[in-house]
Structures are given as structure tokens and as C-alpha cells.
Amino acid sequence: MRVMMTWLVLGMGVIWLGACNGSTPDPGSETDIALRGLIQKHGLRGDPALGRELPSIDEPPAQLGRKLFFSKSLGGDRDSACVTCHHPALGGGDGLPMSIGVGADDPDLLGPGRTHPDGDLTVPRNAPTTFNIALWEKGLFWDSRVENLDDGGTRTPDSDFGTPDPDSGASLSEAQARFPVTSADEMRGFEFVLDGTNAELRTALEQRLAEDGRWDAEFEAAFGSSEITYPRIAEAIAAYEDSQVFTDTPWRAYVEGNHDAIGEPAKRGGILFLGTREDGGADCASCHSGDFFTDEDFHSICAPQVGRGKGDGFLGTNDHGRARENDDRNYRFSFRTPSLLNVSATGPYLHAGTYDNLADVVRHHLDPLGAINSFDPSTVAFAASEDFDRNTQEMLDFLEVSGRGIESLRAPIELTDQDVEDLVAFLETLTDACVLDRECLSPWIADPATDDVDGHLLVAIDRDRNPL
């Protein structure tokens, strides 16, 4: 492996310098030496939460936030909640290619097996995980339609592009918590506050909780007064979401010095991941960079477009991604780089959830053009695929003449099947064991005995009718 030999030299230099400073670290195997050279090159420390003050799930605002997050009272028709698309036991998402929010056949059935009367997936994009949401610094959602501005403030869909929203709140997660309730497909429905503005809808929701009376004591415990306002609702939900910090991964333990925290295949995969194309690597870290494994920027990788889309293109079923927000055609078909922390638990993958296993995602990244030309849209459960060929051709025609899109059309990176397996083994080390353990996740899952404030708690079940 050429990339390993290149970084073996640097890694040996790191060990020699450590010895000169009086320390005698165990260098490990040649693979360890090469990988640690790359870790030093990329300036990795292991834990992206280092130095951050983040809320605990045990704090009163986060406790209230959990109750609100699981409450169907924030859904216009009381048939959906935040947790509908973001359940902790489903990787902080919903396990579907694209979500089904309101109008499901069984509102309490989450994840695979959730259906809608029209037989389709009703939300145009895959639900991003809420895990580690507090670690994002630039923007949220696939298109960063909630984003921090360079000159201060946070822009949201309630403000013009580049203009701060004065009501956004104190953080990205707080700003984000104001918008799922406004989406007709996600939580609002099609009759609640019909034709009302986002502000009018939020006012109606705060009035709903206030008029019930049973929420007063909950807000008193969290905020010191019983006043119920939507800014407080968003603050509590954000505290709950921000407490979902899951960064205790095998990879972190390895970066912090434990040679045995990950296996040899994962180490080889790490070398490929961090290595550049020129050195024989897969160049993954050019976008999935840092300890959070994202540059928070926008890239086009020829991601397959299926489902209802966002109203773009010739047929109205395409999705122009970031260009929908910044009105810059050069950003068409570009989406925010997702973090890879907990990636083995957060599929399906890409903005339309078109792959359900990591090996296929890796192969797509290695050869985007080849992958999309051989992609079978019928493999995506439920999603309408009759427009796939036309939408794909629109994207390819654009990317061929777009400077930003040319990265998707480069010559493929040639790796062996073993290399792909090694990359997947590495990606699997980025998952905190807690997110795979229902008992460990229990502090973030509402308890019907204590959290059902007004009788509208969403008590989730899977397709086998088992509790989530």
C-alpha cells in the first residue's frame, strides 16, 4: 500500500522526536506508525466535543425538551412529533430513505415499516441524525438553510439569505427547532393554522400548550416560571438535542493512544481514508475532515435523486440542494458534508437515502459517475423513481459544465474489494457503542410513566409492534 509507506516515514519521525523528548511511546506495528503519522498531519485529537460546554440530559431544560420532543401536541394534527423522524433508537433519525411525517397509517410506528396511505415517502430528503447536533458550527440541514453568518447572527428560512433572523435564538439547534413544526409534510399537516405564517403557527402551538394547563408545571421546573412561549419550547428542545453527545468511539480511543482500540483492517482503512489520492489513498478526508469528520461545506458527488424532490428541474421532482438557498447555480446538486460520527447507525445515506449500506456508499464516492449510471432507483423502498433518468441527466449535463461539479466526474479512485472492506471497517470504528444500546440510550427516550404530560406522548413501536 503506497500510502502506508509514505506515512510510515513520517510516523517514524514522530516516534523519534518523542524519544528525544524523554518519552518512549510504544510505536505499535508498521500500520500503526503510518496511521499515526497521518493523524498528526491532520491534527486530530479524537474528541470533537473537547472544550465545549454542553448540556446534560439530567438538566431541567433538557428534561422538558425530551417531553416536548416526543409530544404529538406540537404536531398540527397531533399525529407526529419531533421524534417521528429522529428517534434515538433509530440512530437519531428514522431508518427510512426519506421520512414519512404527518398522515402515516400508524402514527406510532417508526422506522422501516412506516407507511403512508398514498404508498410513498412524503418528505423530500433523508432525516439527518440529531446525534452530536451541538457540534455543528456553520449550518444545519442538508442545505444549511439554518446557518451562522460570518458577520454574526443566524440566518433561517424566516429571513432573507445572508440576513440574520432576530428570532433565531442562541444556537443553531435552537434555530433549527423552530422549523419542523412549520413543514406541512413533517409536522404541521395541511389544515392546522391554514394559510397562517410560521409565526402565527408557533403562536397557535404555544397557546395549545398553555390552554391545556398541564404543561405549566413543566415550564416552571425548567425556566423558573410557567410562561409558555415558542422561544422557550425551542430552547428546551435544543437543550435535549444538544445533550445527545456521542463521541466515545473506538477511533477516539485509538487517537488518544490505545493501539488495540481498533483492528488491523480498520487501521488499513484509516490510512486509506486519511491518505490523499496522490499518495494512493481514497482522499475521504478532503471533505470529511477533522475530529467531526466534516468540512461543513457543500459538494456534489452525483448523489442519486429519487422521491418527490423539492420542486426543481424540468419535472419538478429534482433537488438543487444548496443552490435553493444561496441562489447560486454553481451550487446546484451540492449538499452539506455529513459528519461520519456514528455513521454505522445513521443510515440510509445521502440526501435522498439512496444507499442502505456503507460499502455501497464507499463505492459511490470512489466512482460517482460510474455508480449513478448503474444505480437502480427501484432499490429505494417506496420512493417514486419514474423521473430518475431525466433528473439524473439534468444533473450530469450541469456538472459537466460546472466548475464545482467537476470533482464528481474525475477519474475513479481504483481500490480493491479488500480496500473497500477496510474502509468500511474504519467507518465502523466511528460509532459510539452507546447509540447501539437501548439501555444506554434510555435517558434520551421518553418514559410513558413520567413524560406523558397531556396524553399525547408518542410511544414508538417498530414494525413488529415492539417498543422502540
The structural domains of the chain, with segments of one domain joined by +, span 60-245+436-451, 248-428
Task: Tell me how many degrees the CA angle 335-177-447 measures, rounded to the nearest 5.
Answer: 115
Q: How many Å from the N-terminal Cα to the C-terminal Cα in the chain?
A: 44
What Rg, from alpha-carbon coordinates, does the chain have?
23
The pLDDT score that the predictor gives to residue 15 is 45
Task: Tell me how many degrees the CA angle 285-287-289 measures, rounded to the nearest 5.
Answer: 50
Mean pLDDT computed over 111-136: 96
In this predicted model, which residue has the larger pLDDT, 11 or 129?
Answer: 129
The pLDDT score that the predictor gives to residue 163 is 98
pLDDT at 11 exceeding the cut of 60: no
Q: Is 139 helix (H, G, I), strand (E, B) or coil?
A: strand
CATH topology of domain 60-245+436-451: Cytochrome Bc1 Complex; Chain D, domain 2 (1.10.760)
Count of helices and strands (H, E) across the chain: 16, 5
Using a pLDDT cut of 90, give the percent of the chain over it: 86
Number of other CB atoms surrounding residue 209 within 10 Å: 24
The pLDDT score that the predictor gives to residue 22 is 52
The pLDDT score that the predictor gives to residue 29 is 87
Which residue stretches of 71-197 are H helix? 172-176
> Cell digits for 255?
487517537
In this predicted model, which residue has the larger pLDDT, 399 or 133?
Answer: 133
pLDDT band, very low/low/confident/very high, at 3 (cuts 50, 70, 90): low
pLDDT at 208 exceeding the cut of 80: yes
Tens of pLDDT, residues 305-361 = 999 999 999 999 999 999 999 999 999 999 999 999 999 999 999 999 999 999 999
- Decide if 117 contacts 93 (C-beta within 8 A): no
Sign of CA dihedral 437, 440, 442, 445: negative
Q: Is 148 helix (H, G, I), strand (E, B) or coil?
A: strand
The pLDDT score that the predictor gives to residue 130 is 99
Q: How far is residue 340's CA from residue 176's CA, in Å, rounded to a whole number?
A: 20
The pLDDT score that the predictor gives to residue 1 is 58
- Decide if 142 contacts 320 (C-beta within 8 A): no
The pLDDT score that the predictor gives to residue 446 is 99
In this predicted model, which residue has the larger pLDDT, 119 or 235?
Answer: 235
With a CB cutoff of 8 Å and minimum separation 6, the contacts of 61 are 55, 222, 223, 235, 236, 239, 240
Cα-based distances in Å from 277 to 102, 273, 281, 371: 45, 10, 5, 19
pLDDT band, very low/low/confident/very high, at 400 (cuts 50, 70, 90): confident
Q: What is the DSSP string of 28-84?
A: --HHHHHHHHHHHHTT--S-TTTT-----TTSHHHHHHHHHHTBGGGSTTSS--GGG
**248-428 has the same fold as 60-245+436-451:** yes
- Decide if 211 contacts 49 (C-beta within 8 A): no
pLDDT at 383 exceeding the cut of 60: no
pLDDT band, very low/low/confident/very high, at 14 (cuts 50, 70, 90): very low
Mean pLDDT computed over 250-270: 98
In this predicted model, which residue has the larger pLDDT, 60 or 17?
Answer: 60
The pLDDT score that the predictor gives to residue 386 is 78
pLDDT band, very low/low/confident/very high, at 411 (cuts 50, 70, 90): confident
Task: Report which DSSP code applies to 461.
Answer: B
Tens of pLDDT, residues 112-123 = 999 999 888 999
Q: How far is residue 267's CA from residue 35's CA, in Å, rounded to a whole number?
A: 7
Number of other CB atoms surrounding residue 12 within 10 Å: 16
Packing angle of the helix pair 2-20, 30-41 (nearest 10 deg):
80
Average predicted confidence (pLDDT) for the chain: 93
**Which of 150-154, 253-257, 374-378, 446-450 comes out lowest in average pLDDT?**
374-378
The pLDDT score that the predictor gives to residue 354 is 94
pLDDT at 18 exceeding the cut of 50: no
Mean pLDDT computed over 158-171: 98
SS3 readout for 94-107: CCCCCCCCCCCCCC
The pLDDT score that the predictor gives to residue 115 is 96
Instruction: Find residue 154's DSSP bridge partners.
Output: 148
Tens of pLDDT, residues 270-285 = 999 999 999 999 999 9
pLDDT band, very low/low/confident/very high, at 19 (cuts 50, 70, 90): very low
pLDDT at 34 exceeding the cut of 90: yes
**Which of 42-56, 198-212, 391-405, 415-429 comes out lowest in average pLDDT?**
391-405
| Nearest to 217, CA basis, from 456, 454, 447, 459 | 454
pLDDT band, very low/low/confident/very high, at 381 (cuts 50, 70, 90): low
User: Checking DSSP bridges between strand 139-140 and strand 146-148, what pairing results, if any?
Assistant: antiparallel
- The amino acid at residue 381 is A
- Decide if 112 contacts 104 (C-beta within 8 A): no
Residue 26: Cβ-neighbour burial (10 angstroms; 0-12, 13-18, 19+): exposed
Displacement of CA 132 from its chain's centroid (Å): 9
| Nearest to 381, CA basis, from 19, 81, 116, 88 | 116
Q: Is 221 helix (H, G, I), strand (E, B) or coil?
A: helix
> Cell digits for 424?
468500511
For 147, the enclosing helix (H) or strand (E) is strand 146-148
The pLDDT score that the predictor gives to residue 17 is 45
The pLDDT score that the predictor gives to residue 406 is 64
Q: Is 243 helix (H, G, I), strand (E, B) or coil?
A: coil
Using a pLDDT cut of 70, give the percent of the chain over it: 92
SS3 readout for 245-302: CCCCCHHHHHHCCCHHHCCHHHHHHHHHHHCCCCCCCCCHHHCCCCCCCCCCCEECCC
CATH architecture of the domain formed by 248-428 = Orthogonal Bundle (1.10)
- Virtual CA dihedral for 420, 425, 430, 433, nearest 10 degrees? 150
pLDDT band, very low/low/confident/very high, at 304 (cuts 50, 70, 90): very high
Instruction: Map grid coordinates 417508526 to a residue.
Output: 110
Mean pLDDT computed over 210-216: 98
Q: How far is residue 31's CA from residue 270's CA, in Å, rounded to a whole number?
A: 10
